[in-house]
Chain A
Amino acid sequence: MIKIKAKNVDVFYGKKQALYNIGLDIEENQVTALIGPSGCGKSTFLRCLNRMNDVIDICRVKGEILINDFNINDKSCDVVRLREKIGMVFQKPNPFPKTLYENVSYGPTIHGMAQSKQEMDEIVETSLKKAALWEEVKDRLHEPGTGLSGGQQQRLCIARAISVRPEVILMDEPCSALDPIATAQIEELIDELKKEHTIIIVTHSMAQAARVSQNTGFFHLGHLIEHGSTDKIFKNPDNTKTQDYITGRFG
């Protein structure tokens, strides 16, 4: 099943064009990895999917992005509702400087998802459990989230993202600030999460893309060079640029 369909997406920062005519289909309940050298536009594309580029004044997005057959670039699209459905995890762990509990309950609170304290407690517990963090922090839910280690912080951010039960989770190099052990934990987690969520992950590490994803898109200088199943991209790419990048000849 196709969850997200991007058609003819162009992105401009001021006069500079950052993405050229991107067309990409993303499968439901699978992990799609976006790879490519720095500055190739993969993060920009990711941020198109939950309209985070709106925050940047000079950024303009053209083209259609259909999520559940609804164009999110349409004027009638409500950004707040969209971002409730599309969660995001950032490169650097960015928990709110509040308690763990407040971090996870923030989304459900602003979207009115819990009627009582009990319900909220449940949401917080399930989210933290799904993020494989519950056992480590259950005794200190009311301590500040910024006191955790980097890997724990990132899992807290994942718990925060899944607390509103999004259909899609966008991950922008979620492991680049983490050590190998924390990275392994997050990768395991991604594998678990894809049962309920569609995941799109931007990564610099080709090994990571190969490990966690079912589909891969390769970006270069603002163009989507090639996309397809991860197996095919890594073992038998059609394009020589992809081949060169995968084998480490540039990037």
Chain B
Amino acid sequence: MNKSKEQLLNKRYKAEQRFRLYGLSAIFMALLFLTIFIFKIFSTGYSAFQKTWLIVPVTFDAELMMLEQNPSNEDLQDADYYDIALKSMADLDPNANEDQENELKRMVSYFFEKEIKNELLNNPGLIGKTKEVYLTASDDLDQVFKGNYPRDLPEDQRRVSDYQLKIFDQLVAKGKVESKFNISFFTYADSREPELAGIASSFMGSIFSILVCLMIAFPVAVLAAIYLEEFAPKNRFTDFIEVNINNLAAVPSIVFGLLGLGVLLAIFHLPRSTPLVGGITLSLMTLPTIIIAARASLKAVPPSIREAALAMGASRMQTTMHHTVPLSMPGTLSGTIIGLAQALGETAPLILIGMVAFVNTIPGSPMDPAASLPVQIYIWAESAERGFVEKVSACIMVLLGFLIIMNLFAQIIRHKFEKKWS
């Protein structure tokens, strides 16, 4: 009798130990995947924050630029920089033939003319003089310098020619190639050229979309939650509404995208590809999340507080507005932020309403065409150029950073402001 009891006890302890082991290995697996994922993204993406520059001597020849004596600022604006830009690149190899000169030109981005122009505009005294100017290297050379380019491929399988590599290596040997922090990644809009592509447009697009989404979803959701929780009679109809709100939260986001396409664009003719439409579409998606969070936090306010207020002669509206709603706000707000974070990472509905279009301007308002961060990742991931690989990872890093900050904020609000009920 006693022995079998002991066996039973041992069995129970062993079962518990096994269970703990399963739990630990599950956590270990999760952490392992997370680590691999983060390591992969960082190791691919970190180099996108560096940009390669060629330092090229430029002679600001007034004649080539078609400039008169003592040019005004306007003259400088209108001057022709293409010839001196071409010439300075061609001068890298005095013996170059016409084809080779063309190849030399392609070693820098097509912004080289603009970069030379800016140099002169900043310092008009350079006319007639020679100065070394930083020019953005072409994306392929950028990759060569970062060591991401397979130099040992046969020449006909490479986009960089042997000649370009030779000149480039000479420049490297002379210390005329430099890597600097890639500011333009944050200040430029998208571009077909990886070396000139930045996230400014998609970042602003995301911000505007989220703001529009917040301004629509938050008031509607909070009012709906307050009504359902505090005022609505509990009957079949409100049960039905509740079930449907929960269902709405489970609807695939692409369906909302189709709704945006079919209603906002086709019927209301709102401007295509804009954060306005994106934000409205995302707000439909965020609405149930916020309603559910707000209702849960309203429910968590103890009924004794409502009774106390009602017994003091407060009307239902006063009870709700003076006590219940303020007490539920921390939960509601953190739910809202989590809903917005979800919306921020949403891609499919935005693609459907046209936010996938190539936008090379930075939007100034929600009415301007824009991309958004996740869509930008999608666009770049689709592109063939080698330079976009690291850009994709870098963009993911920015998006993840954004999401982590938002979730952190939600946690802080929850822990700091939520009342503890003894």
Contacts and interface: CB of A to CB of B under 8 A. Distances in A.
Interface of A: 50, 52, 55, 57, 80-84, 87-88, 90, 92, 94-97, 106-107, 110-111, 146, 157, 160-161, 164
Contacts, number: 61
A53 to B, nearest CB: 11
B2 interface: no
Contacts of A161: 311-312
Contacts of B313: 80-84, 107, 110-111, 164
Contacts of B323: 96
B241 to A, nearest CB: 16
Interface string B308-323: 1111111100100011
Contact of A90 (B234, B304, B315, B322): B304
23 contacts: A55-B306, A55-B307, A57-B233, A80-B313, A83-B311, A84-B313, A87-B312, A88-B311, A90-B307, A90-B308, A90-B311, A92-B304, A94-B307, A94-B308, A97-B305, A106-B309, A110-B313, A110-B322, A111-B313, A160-B308, A160-B312, A164-B312, A164-B313
Given A83-B312, A106-B312, A106-B314, 14 more contacts: A52-B311, A81-B313, A83-B311, A84-B313, A87-B311, A94-B305, A94-B307, A94-B308, A97-B419, A110-B314, A110-B318, A146-B419, A160-B308, A164-B312
Contacts of B302: 94
Interface in B189-223: none
Which of B307, B311, B327, B422 is packed against the most chain A CB atoms within 10 Å?
Answer: B311
B387 to A, nearest CB: 56
B309 to A, nearest CB: 7
Contacts of A107: 312-313
A90 to B, nearest CB: 6
A96 B422 contact: no
B310 A55 contact: yes
Binding site secondary structure of chain B: helix
Given A57-B234, A90-B304, A110-B318, A96 B309 contact: yes
Contacts of B422: 146
Interface string B384-422: 000000000000000000000000000000000001001
Interface in B314-349: 314-315, 318, 322-323, 327
Contacts of A55: 306-307, 310
A50 B308 contact: no
A157 B318 CA distance: 19
Contacts of B234: 57
Interface in B279-325: 302, 304-315, 318, 322-323
Given A57-B234, A110-B318, A146-B422, A94 B310 contact: no
Interface residues of B, number: 21
Contacts of B322: 106, 110
A90 B311 CA distance: 10
A164 B234 CA distance: 33
A83 B307 contact: no
A82 B308 CA distance: 15
Nearest to A144: B419
A95 B306 CA distance: 11
A204 B322 CA distance: 33
A70 B157 CA distance: 99
A110 B314 CA distance: 7
Given A57-B233, A57-B234, A96 B315 contact: no
Contacts of A90: 304, 307-308, 311
A218 B422 CA distance: 33
Contacts of B327: 97
The 10 closest A-B pairs by CB, nearest first: A94-B304, A83-B313, A88-B311, A84-B313, A107-B312, A94-B308, A97-B419, A80-B313, A110-B314, A80-B315
Contacts of A82: 313
Contacts of B304: 90, 92, 94
Nearest to B303: A55
A94 B310 CA distance: 12
A92 B308 CA distance: 11
A1 B115 CA distance: 98
Nearest to B314: A110
B112 to A, nearest CB: 65
A68 B314 CA distance: 22
Contacts of A52: 307, 310-311
B412 to A, nearest CB: 19
Contacts of B419: 97, 146
B120 to A, nearest CB: 66
Nearest to B323: A96
Contacts of B308: 90, 94-96, 157, 160
B246 to A, nearest CB: 22
Contacts of B311: 50, 52, 83, 87-88, 90, 161
A82 B322 CA distance: 20
B312 A110 contact: yes
Nearest to A102: B322
Which of B306, B313, B314 is packed against the most chain A CB atoms within 10 Å?
Answer: B313
Contacts of A84: 313
Contact of B305 (A80, A96, A110, A164): A96
A249 B352 CA distance: 76
A82 B306 CA distance: 17
Nearest to A88: B311
Nearest to A111: B313
Contacts of A94: 302, 304-305, 307-308
Contacts of A83: 310-313
Contacts of A81: 313
Interface in B336-387: none
